[in-house]
């Protein structure tokens, strides 16, 4: 894929600073930035599929209406 992007002066300065400090060319800097953002999104992915794949689902038993009636259920358990 070939990209043609326009950056304002602020981002040109930031890109130049990153290049100077890392000794990377523009392509390497962009790839590293994409990798970093991708990793962040994977770590904060709260999708239902990810939750369903975890061992949390089905790890305990509870009343089917637990969320709606939590207070009443707790009171009955304490008595």
Record the tokens describing residue 31, joined without a space: 């790839």
CB 69 within 8 Å of CB 63:
yes
Per the domain annotation, does 3 fall within a domain? no
Q: 64 pLDDT exceeds 80?
A: no
The rounded percent of the chain whose pLDDT value lies above 70 is 77
How many structural domains are present in the chain?
Answer: 1
Instruction: Give me Rg for the CA atoms of the chain.
Output: 24
H helical segments located in the chain: 9-22, 26-43, 48-53, 66-78
Residue scoring higher pLDDT (26 or 67): 26
CB 29 within 8 Å of CB 22:
yes
Average pLDDT for the chain: 84
Q: Give pLDDT tens digits for 26-50.
A: 999 999 999 999 988 888 766 666 6
Structural domain for 54, as ranges: 9-78
Per the domain annotation, does 2 fall within a domain? no
* pLDDT value of position 79: 82
pLDDT, mean of residues 6-23: 96
Q: 63 pLDDT exceeds 90?
A: no
d(CA 56, CA 48): 12
């Amino acid at each position: 894929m070939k990209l043609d992007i326009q950056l304002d002066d602020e981002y040109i300065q930031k890109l130049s600073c990153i290049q100077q400090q890392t000794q990377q060319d523009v392509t390497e800097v962009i790839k590293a930035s994409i990798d970093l953002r991708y990793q962040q999104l994977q770590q904060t992915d709260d999708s239902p599929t990810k939750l369903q794949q975890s061992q949390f689902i089905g790890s305990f038993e509870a009343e089917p209406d637990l969320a709606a009636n939590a207070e009443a259920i707790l009171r009955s358990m304490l008595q």
